Structure formats: C-alpha cells, structure tokens
Structure 1
Amino acid sequence: MKRIILAAAMALLAAPAWAGDSQPLRIGWVSAMANAPVLIAEKKGFFKEEGLAVELKSFGDGPVIQQAVASGDVDVAYVGAPPVYQWFARGLDSVILAKVNYGQAALVAKASGPIHTLADLKGQRLAGVNRGSGMDVLLRGYILKDVAKLDPETDLQLSQMPAGNMNAALDTGVVDAVFEWEPFISQSVLRGAGRVVFDVNEALPHYPWYVIASTRKVANERPDDIVKLLRAHHKAIAFLSEHPDEADKIIAEAFKLEPVQSADGKVVPAQAIVSEARKRLGWSDAIESADRAFIQRLMDYSQTLGILSQPLKADDVIDTALWARATGEQN
C-alpha cells in the first residue's frame, strides 16, 4: 500500500503544472495580425509559465467563432466585440473580459484607380467581409453612413468575401476597393498595388477592436484558468511592446508571410510587412472608458443597421473583474 501511495505521489510531482481535473482551455481566435498576443503567448511559453494548457484554433471571422462558443466547442474567443454582443442579444450569456488590441482596419483602393476619397466610392464596387461581423458594422455604420454619407445598400455595390481574397480581387479588377485588415493592407501598400483611402485608426485613434470573450458559465466555472489566460495575455502584450523585432519575426513566421516586391522592384522582407502594419494597429488589454463608449457606439450602429432588434448597454456585456485580478489593475 505504501508503494502505491508513493508511486501516486511521484506521478503527481512529475505531472505538468496544469494536470488534474482541469481540461485544456480551448481558444478560438480570428486569424488576424491584431490577435498576435495569443500567438506570442503560445510561442514564448507564457501559457505554460502560468500552468495553463491551451488548444488554439483559428477562424476566418468572429460570427463563426461565437457560434463555436455558443455550441460549447470553444471556451474563450479572441474576437471582435459585435459578434459577442449580438449573441448576447440572442440569449447567450456572453461576457467581454479584456481588450486585445486597437486599430487594424483600412479601406484600400487600387493604386492606379480613380478612388482617392470616400466620396469617390459612389457607384463603385467595394468588398467587405461577412454581414453582421464587426468589420461589417464598422464599414456600413461608421465609414459609409457616418463619414462618407453614403447608403451602403444603394450608393455602391457592396459585396462580401474572405479578407484573404481581397487583394487578388483588387489586383484583377473584380472590385475597385476593399475594406480589410492587417497584414493584407500592408502587403497591398508595400507592393504598390493598393492605396489607403481611409485609415480608421487615424480617424479614431486607438479605437478598440478585438477582445477576449467567453460565456459567464465558463468564467464562473473556470475563473482560475481565465486568470491564468489573462496573465499570459498581459505578458504577451508587454513582449510586443518591449521586443518589437523578435515579436515581428514571430508574427511573420506564424502568418507565413512572404517577401513582397515593391513597385520599384525592391524586395521587402516579411518582417517589414509587420513593421508597416504597426502604423495602423497596436496592443493593449485594459478596457478604458473610451473603449466602452466605442463598443456602445458599435451596438448603436448594429441596431440602426437592423442587426440588433433591441438596444443594449456596453456595461451589460463587459466584466473586467477577472482581468483586474490577473493584473492587479483597475479600469
């Protein structure tokens, strides 16, 4: 009996820090450069440092991730705020736990084309991503309606396609402009093929975009694991700021970025694409009062666009208590 007890004790000592009853935390993330903290945390071992086992799965857009959260296939999501509050409105007890980044999006037109301002979009062909996604709400609600004073349904031809297909569609003339995210913006600009017509981060400096979200059920049942995740996330954001060259290399490798050739024939290395992208995005985990106001603005746009059938309040969906426990900060 003593031998059995001793063997069991030794097995516990030899087991990884996350062994036990807790299952790996399944993390879904939109495959966008702005979600780099989740990649950095995995690559640099920050999750392991916190004793947290994770399973990462990338998705093409936020609505698909939130569907996975709703079905229980994913525990935590690195996703835009709109899919989170849209599912909340449908009855899923979603909660935003922390911020991931600010910035990322721009409207890009063909460099040799006629579009130089948002007003030039009238009558043109513009590609965005799936309707109801965060990028779609930002495009139709803010850029087209508020800024350009255009009706997205009648003043131009608005189509949807995956962000990864947009540059090819722009190059071949399938569309005249695209609303996309990084690294696609920088790839187009550095090749000399695209021209940034409207940089959202210039118009709305440090606007929040991706957030870490879950359901309250997961947050209540696994608070310690969520805190470990948020600590690793916090470390990753610090690393992105303090070690930009190494971080840019990790990002370039993770997204399998290839060097691009500029219009003058020079070869631009993959890491320079990430450096260029930093002009339009950055990383932060604290949800400030201005961030809450912006998320409220997105909620209001969603209601105006008919995506939400009822008004919502940002504070009903945001809960930073676990983030404060993880970081020792308040906001």
Structure 2
Amino acid sequence: TSSNGDEHADLTELTFGYQPSTHQIAYMTADVKGWWLEDLAPFGITRINDIEFPTGAPEMQAMLSGHIDVAYVGAAPVISALDKGLDAKIVAAVQTQGSNLVLRPEITYEGPEDLKGLKLATFPPGTIQDTLLKDWLIKNGIDTDNDVEILGMGPGDAITAISAKKVDGVFLPHPAPAIIESEGNGRSVIASGEMMPDHACCVLVVSGNLIREEPELVSQILQTHIKATDYNTAHIDEASKIFAEMTGWDIEVVNKSLAEWDGAWICDPNPIIGSTVNYTQVQHELGYIDNPLTEEEIFDTSFYEAVKQ
C-alpha cells in the first residue's frame, strides 16, 4: 500500500478501512468535512482512499494483506489478526457497547434459556459480536455448538435473514437493531452492555509501519479522530444525517438508533484495555487464537497520552 515506501516523500496516500455502522461515524464525519485530507496534507498526504467492509473479519484480512493503513474496526477481530501476525496496534478507542440481540416478534424471551433450539445470525467468527454472544451464552449455560445454531454473516444479510424468517434472531451492532425493529421484524431483548458492561467495541488501529516511520502523522490521525468524535457528540443530529447520507439508511431510523442504543463514542483507549485483553482469553477458549495476548501486544497508548497532555 501507500505506506510501504521507505522515505517520507513516498507517502502521499493513506487507505482507511471502515464499516457502515453508527459506531464509526467519526470516520465518516472527518471524511465528509474534508478533515482527513486537510489535517494530513502538511505531512505530504494528497489523497485519502477508503474501503468499506461489512464486518471486521474481512477488514482485518485486508490489513494483514497490506491493503489498508488505518482501520476503524472492532477490537476482537484485531486480536485474531494480531495472532496471525498483523503488524499494527490499537492507538485509540472509537466506541463502547452498542449492539443488541434482536428476536423475531413471535418468539417468547424471558432469559438465555429461551434461546435453546433457535437459529441466530451474528458477525463471523472472531468479531466483537461473535465473541461477545458466544461468551455470554456459555456463561449462561448454553452450549454454542449444540443448544443453538449460530450463523456468521454481514449486517445486510442478517437483516434480510431475520426479515425473511430464515433465522430466529440476530446479534448486531447499531443501526441494524433499529432497522429491524422499525420494519416490524424483531424486537431487542438484551443490549450488549447488559452482557458485558462497558465492553470495548470499535477501535482505531494503525499499521506498525506508520507507527515506526511516521509518528507525527499517526499523532495527527488521532487528533482528527478526536476532533470528529467531539464534533459528533456535540452535533448528534448532523452526525445522524452524515451517516444516513453515506449509507442510504432512512434518517428517522438512524435517529431512532442513536436515541436507543447503549453505545458511547469515546477516544481514550485506557477504559477499554481490560475488556479487550479479556477478549483474548475468550477467543483463546473458543479456539480462535493460540495464546491470549497482553496489553503491550495490542495497544500503543503513547500517542493518546501525548495528544492529551
């Protein structure tokens, strides 16, 4: 990619990865406002490319292959990729919580026991949603191999599947739960923050190459992310509009999603370190990774600490 040049002069383009979720509006706002290009131009950046991914699994495959330099992505797929040799670090948080388990309207639900025998769709193995859902089910005595059928798919396919009654429920990030509810095809029965309070969700990941070779550029990427996050928090209606226009979703549904989700946009990586390291234990127990990872293997908080001083 753009970041493989050995000299500063070679680096004129950056490629970002992101997903069409309200979790990641910070990326979209900075893009629509022209902040990425404007703020990174002093470092020689003349072009910003981006690639939209349905979930974090293919996004991290792309980063492993060197196709993206910076990723807005769930913390869990980063862990799976680091285990496979990804040279990158989480430099900031993007948001916490913000996913819901949505069941078909006709299905009775009083607790996890009621999920036995059901077919559920969520993001593919190794993603936040897959990791959280399976961990929560196991902790509640539900055998994820035998008691329930869990299918991995992207948000569009999962929304279609529950609408067509091909699955009984979905565990998805916003705005998908609000979309399904507004179409009368399901109801939220539990939010992800009830499964694991204040859990890490999306994070900002930067390639090791950029961290080593272009630390000042990385610092500016982080500052622009903070600026966009603060702007969205102060202008939620505009953030909602930006998201609706970029994704094509109805503005009323996006407003409903942001009013009802249990998510929060944040930048400070420190509050999410514990739950992210915990994901490595969960993924190890699920057989996704060979060994749990340490905080040092996952995070580089030095950029955030420096910016915040």
Indicate whether the TM-score tops 0.5. Answer: yes
1-side partners of 2:141 and 2:88: how far apart? Answer: 33
1:17-58 deviations in Å (ceiling 9; x for gaps): xx9543221111123220110001111222234134421111
Aligned twin of 1:64: 58
Aligned counterpart in structure 1 of residue 138 of structure 2, from 142, 145, 149: 145
- Aligned with 1:287 (options 250, 254, 269): 269
RMSD: 2.0
The 1:275/1:132 distance shift into structure 2, 3 A limit, reads: closer
Aligned counterparts of 1:34 and 1:226: Cα–Cα separation in 2: 21
| 1:32 matched to 2:21 | yes
User: Are 1:307 and 2:288 an aligned pair?
Assistant: yes
Q: Which amino acid aligns with 1:312?
A: L
In the alignment, is the contact (CA less than 8 A) between 1:103 and 1:280 conserved in 2? yes
Structure 1 residues 182 and 151: alpha-carbon distance in aligned structure 2, compared to 1, 3 A threshold: same
1:312, 1:318 → 2: CA distance? 10
TM-superposed CA distance for 1:293, in Å, is 0.9
Percent identity at matched positions? 27
Q: Matches of 2:192 and 2:181 in 1, distance apart?
A: 16
Counterpart of 2:68? 74
**1:190 aligned residue:** 182
Contact 1:292 1:315 (8 Å CA) reproduced: no
Question: Partners of 1:135 and 1:314 in 2: how far apart?
Answer: 21
CA contact (8 A) 1:186 1:276 kept: no
Q: For 1:197-216, list aligned pairs within 5 A.
A: 197-216=189-208
1:229 to 221, 241, 250: 221
Mapping of 1:54-133 within 5 angstroms?
54-133=48-127
Question: Is the CA contact (8 Å cut-off) linking 1:87 and 1:94 kept in structure 2?
Answer: no
Q: Does residue 249 in structure 1 map to residue 241 in structure 2?
A: yes
Deviation, structure 1 residue 108: 0.5
* 2:308 matched residue in structure 1: 328
Q: Which amino acid aligns with 2:29?
A: I
Alpha carbons 1:237, 1:285 under 8 Å: kept: yes
Shift in alpha-carbon separation, 1:72–1:209, aligned structure 2, 3 A: same
Mapped contact 1:25–1:225 kept (Cα < 8 A): no
Question: Which secondary structure does the structure 1 equivalent of 2:40 belong to?
Answer: coil
Alignment of 1:268-287 (within 5 A): 269-277=252-260, 279-287=261-269
Q: Give structure 1 stretches of 5+ with no counterpart.
A: 1-18, 260-268
Aligned pair count reads 297
Q: CA deviation at 1:271?
A: 4.6
Deviation, 1:319, is: 0.5
2:63, 2:86 within 8 Å by CA — same for their partners in 1?
Answer: no
Cα distance in 2 for residues equivalent to 1:77 and 1:62 = 9
Q: SS of 1:26's equivalent?
A: strand
- Structure 1 residues 67 and 275: CA distance shift in structure 2, 3 A: closer
Name the structure 2 match of 1:161.
153
Q: Aligned with 2:300: secondary structure?
A: coil
Per-residue deviation, 1:165: 1.9
Q: Cα offset for 1:314?
A: 2.4
Greater CA deviation, 57-66 or 203-212?
203-212
Q: How far apart are 1:284 and its partner, in Å?
A: 0.6
Separation in structure 2 between the aligned mates of residue 216 and residue 21 of structure 1, nearest angstrom: 17
Q: Structure 1 38/169 Cα, relative in aligned 2: closer, same or farther at 3 Å?
A: same
SS in structure 2 of the partner of residue 193 of structure 1: coil
- 2:291 and 2:99 map into 1 onto residues whose CA distance is 27
Q: Where does structure 2 lack aligned partners over 5 or more consecutive residues? A: 1-7, 42-46
Deviation of 1:128 (Å): 1.6
Distance 1:244 1:165 in 2: 28
> Does the 8 A contact of 1:27 with 1:57 survive in 2?
yes
Distance 2:188 2:229 in 1: 27
TM-score normalized by the length of structure 2: 0.89
Rounded to whole Å, the distance in 2 between the matches of 1:22 and 1:178 is 42
